[in-house]
Amino acid sequence: MMRSLIAAAASLFVASAGLTAEQQPSTADMESMMVELQASHIAANAPPDATFMAILERDVRAYLVAKRLPSRGVAIEPLRKGATQSGVSYPKYYVWIRAADKSRHHVAGAMRVTAIDRVRFNVTDFTPAASIRSDPALLASIYPASLIPAIRQHATAE
């Protein structure tokens, strides 16, 4: 996947720059440029470490309130360290959340969020633990394959 993305970027770069075959950047150069592009995109969108969790908790709570789900005592556990960056999309974070309400109703599940402009997160997907237990196949279209075993384990423990 990454190699095909790099090849496409290299072709676009070469075509737009009007470079001759001898002037084309190497695959290693293109990989380095992609890594730098991804890092700069994360830096431009992820909140600073000092406020990261507070902003994430605020926006997860707002999502839960908007969906009329329990939203007190929100607990957030990262499923992966750091962001996942694909191309020029917003950086994605994968977390397991738990929350309750005054009546002790609770909700738990996997969540994919994107960091935007260093000041907010957008919840793009929320998959409740009950849905994961009843239909684990739905995870494949939302979450990276490497995270699915951990997500299923969390759902089973709920």
Residues 38-74: tens digit of each pLDDT: 777 688 888 999 999 999 999 999 999 999 999 999 9
Q: Counting every residue, how long is the chain? A: 158
Residues 1-22: tens digit of each pLDDT: 444 544 555 555 545 555 566 6
Given the structure tokens 């839960």, which residue do they identify? Answer: 64
Identify whether the C-beta of residue 134 lies closer than 8 Å to the C-beta of residue 113.
no
User: What's 41's DSSP letter?
Assistant: H
Least confident of 6-15, 94-103, 104-113, 123-132: 6-15
End-to-end CA separation in angstroms for the chain:
34
Residue 17 confidence (pLDDT): 57
Q: What is the DSSP string of 63-99?
A: HHHHTT---EEEEEEESSSS-B--TTSPPEEEEEEEE
What is the domain partition of the chain in residue ranges?
Answer: 2-45, 49-157
Q: What is the pTM of this model?
A: 0.80
